[in-house]
């Protein structure tokens, strides 16, 4: 079987900026929820049998206490932020397993879910559906892979190395050096993607990097300056790596069969009717890099089916 673990936060954001506005009878913006629900049900219709969606029920997490610049809900459009609870309610009613995260992040749940699923010999592939680069640390061979559903690109372990220049186990160290603007931490001055990849491809982890750059023997420009920065900013490098390291010790399910889609709950029809009745209007232009998904009304979930899914990139 294949297990699909979907980044609900990313999906809500991309549909919010891709779709025209849709408001329910109470005037609440719900277009993004409609889009995500239609997309997830499309996965099930395409053959996905085991699926879970992780969301950031609260954007802030324990990482905000470690680094003051870490991402927060500040600046997120209220009409987008308000759709998180509704998305969780609608997906649950549709019979989809939802993991709403509060102290930890959705990315932590995706990582923990993938590790747990891969322990089960019945699972052929654990497929993490998100483009977030921190999830690349979870990729293992071709068993745990990362799928960008927008671009339809799947990264196995060789794909991670080709993209970042380092193996999955080095991704937290890599992000500790280069930073992650999306998550709000800067990395170390001068340590760009190429120099970080060159050094970590050889030494793998921060602790293994020699303090004397003459021992590096890698193709890294201004190696002496980089070594000096790493020594001066050592504590920050470790902090940023800690921010990038996903927690996988969550107990999200006891058996992978708990992720099998069993059909909608009795309350789904009421929520689906609310979404279907929404008034659509032109709102925001599609931004560069956002999904080109077109709006479609919410349909009833597909009939229960469990064929083996052959094309993992199919939405």
Whole-prediction pTM: 0.88
What are the tokens at 3?
């297990």
Could you read off the pLDDT of 255-265 as tens digits, one per residue? 999 999 999 99
pLDDT digits (tens, 9 = 90+) for 15-66: 999 999 999 999 999 999 999 999 999 999 999 999 999 999 999 999 999 9
Query: Do residues 36 and 114 both lie within one domain?
Result: yes
Give the mean pLDDT of 73-97.
96
Q: Tell me, what's the pLDDT at 280? A: 86
- More confident position, 286 or 266: 266
**What range defines the domain where residue 201 resides?**
167-244
**Measured CA angle at 108 (ends 102, 109), to 5 deg:** 80
Return d(Cα 311, Cα 47) in angstroms, integer: 9
The sign one gets for the Cα dihedral 271, 276, 277, 279 is: positive
Per-residue pLDDT, 303: 52
Locate 175 and state its tokens. Answer: 């992000």
pLDDT band at 308; cut points 50, 70, 90:
very low
289 in any annotated domain: no
Q: How many domains does the chain have?
A: 2
Residue 315 lies in a domain: no
Asked if 150 contacts 14 with a C-beta cutoff of 8 angstroms, the reply is: yes
Q: How far apart (Å, rounded) are the C-alpha atoms in residues 278 and 25?
A: 7
Residues 189 and 49 in one domain: no
């Amino acid at each position: 079987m294949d297990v699909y673990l979907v980044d609900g936060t990313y999906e809500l954001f991309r549909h919010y900026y891709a779709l025209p506005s849709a408001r329910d009878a109470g005037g609440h913006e719900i277009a993004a929820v409609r889009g995500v629900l239609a997309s997830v049900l499309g996965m099930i219709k395409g053959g996905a049998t085991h699926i879970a969606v992780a969301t950031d029920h609260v954007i802030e997490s324990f990482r905000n206490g470690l680094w003051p610049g870490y991402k927060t809900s500040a600046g997120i459009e209220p009409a987008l932020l308000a759709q998180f609870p509704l998305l969780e309610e609608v997906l649950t009613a549709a019979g989809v397993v939802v993991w709403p995260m509060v102290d930890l992040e959705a990315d932590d749940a995706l990582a923990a879910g993938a590790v747990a699923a891969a322990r089960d010999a019945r699972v052929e592939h654990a497929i993490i559906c998100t483009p977030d680069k921190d999830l690349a640390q979870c990729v293992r061979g071709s068993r745990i892979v990362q799928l960008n559903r927008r671009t339809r690109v799947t990264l196995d372990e060789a794909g991670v190395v080709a993209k970042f220049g380092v193996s999955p186990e080095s991704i937290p160290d890599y992000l500790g050096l280069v930073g992650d603007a999306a998550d709000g931490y800067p990395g170390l001055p001068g340590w760009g993607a190429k120099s970080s990849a060159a050094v970590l491809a050889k030494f793998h982890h921060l602790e293994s990097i020699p303090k004397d750059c003459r021992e590096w023997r890698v193709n890294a420009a201004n190696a002496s300056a980089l070594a000096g920065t790493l020594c001066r900013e050592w504590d920050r490098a470790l902090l940023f790596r800690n921010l990038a390291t996903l927690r996988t010790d969550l107990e999200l399910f006891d058996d992978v069969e708990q992720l099998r889609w069993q059909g909608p709950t009795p309350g789904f029809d009421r929520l689906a009717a609310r979404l279907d009745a929404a008034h659509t209007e032109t709102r925001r232009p599609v931004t560069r890099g956002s999904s080109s998904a077109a709006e479609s009304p919410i349909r009833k979930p597909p009939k229960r089916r469990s064929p083996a899914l052959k094309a993992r990139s199919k939405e």
